[in-house]
Amino acid sequence: MRFRETSLPGAFEVLLEPHEDERGFFSRLWCAQEFAATGLPTGFVQASLSHNERSGTVRGMHFQWPPSREGKIVRCESGSVHDVLLDLRPDSPAFLRHVAVVLNAARGNAVYIPPGIAHGFQTLEDHTRVGYVMTDFFAPHLAGGVRHDDPAFGIVWPRPVSVISQKDCDWPLFDPLTHRRRYERPVS
């Protein structure tokens, strides 16, 4: 594996290093030693899968409020996605900046998303599956999100949105002051 840090501190694209022969290739997807050597967590406690029927589907932008320490690795298992990471950590030099990475099953690349960064994606193909492994258990009372189309962030999605949940459409417009207050005063 190779790790390429994005412009968001602590967020990495994880690239495969395939070993090829006449059968195809073999590549390591996960290695605690390699993650630890890069300074990334190695304790994952939960895994999830999303299946998305239609191209253009948007899921996100989701995150967990403190005191959750949910980081995650996201990998496209079939199809491809335009994956977006949005830095919502008020103390980060990249606060309110985002990066996008195309994840696809053919490349096998993934992203590591540290706590405090919102995550979402848009499917680029029908029947796309995205797998997640998380460093903390999901806590419904700490679930947060921001609008995928909030002008405060300027996220450009590559396709028109074909499917999105009502919940993802109903997040309020971003208010940096309210966000900072909630982020700095965690609820348990």
**Residues with catalytic roles:** 62, 132
Q: Which amino acid is at 82?
A: H
Cβ contact 6:19 at 8 Å: no
Dihedral sign from CA coordinates of 159, 125, 54, 112: negative
Question: Tokens at residue 31, please?
Answer: 């290695």
Give the whole-angstrom CA distance, residue 17 versus residue 33. Answer: 16
Cβ contact 46:71 at 8 Å: no
Question: Tokens at residue 10, please?
Answer: 């602590």
Give the whole-angstrom CA distance, residue 32 versus residue 146. Answer: 32
CB-based burial of residue 152 (10 Å sphere; 0-12 exposed, 13-18 middle, 19+ buried)? middle
Cβ contact 58:156 at 8 Å: no
Give the whole-angstrom CA distance, residue 28 versus residue 110. Answer: 12
